[in-house]
Amino acid sequence: MPDRSTGPEDVNERAVDEWVAETTPFERVHGVVRRTYDPQSAAEISERARVSPTTARKHLRTLVDVGEVVTEADDRTTLYRRSKTAVVTEHAQQLLAERTTEEIAAGIADMKAELRSWREEHGVESPEAFARELDVGDADTELGAVLREWQTTRRNLALAEAALAIGEVSNVGQRSDVDGDDGESDSSVVV
């Protein structure tokens, strides 16, 4: 029969103890930062990661050096948060896990066509220019929906292009340049 005297605090502490035992201090700091969108001090991160503030600062400096984390000053304290690049890279990698590069490339072509269509239809180059032409009351109309869709499509296009670039860079290590009969290099041969 299970011990029913175990309270939520005991279960949570046990889970934290297992997390600490199964991970390195760097993994814990990195894991905490990956879930940190608001800037936090090294002391706050160290407490959540169950490491000393000195250890947290050391690992945070490493993460800053590789572009995963950015800093900002708040009075006399340095605050840390995930970089936008790290967030985009994570989303791009998720997209690559869900779709092939061919599917992503087809989606990019479709989104570019959609953006071109809106530019032609509304006679402006960007959703910002389109928004300047709208009245305040247009936000809840079909025009407001077009504006939101235009902005979302542009953001999704940038993400898809990042994912495709990451996919292509990842494939470089899997490909081999082979000279064909014409002396030209063929990088499409998978080794």
- Whichever domain contains 50, its CATH number is 1.10.10.10
Q: What is the pTM of this model?
A: 0.64
> For residue 186, is it within any domain?
no
pLDDT at 4 over 90: no
How many domains is the chain partitioned into structurally?
Answer: 2
> For residue 92, is it within any domain?
yes
> For residue 122, is it within any domain?
yes
Check if the beta carbon of residue 83 is closer than 8 Å to that of residue 47.
no
> For residue 175, is it within any domain?
no
pLDDT tens, residue by residue, 12-45: 888 888 988 999 999 999 999 998 878 999 999 9
Name the token pair of 1.
């029969």
Q: Domain residues for 130?
A: 87-169
> For residue 179, is it within any domain?
no
Measured CA to CA, the distance from residue 59 to residue 34 in angstroms comes to: 13
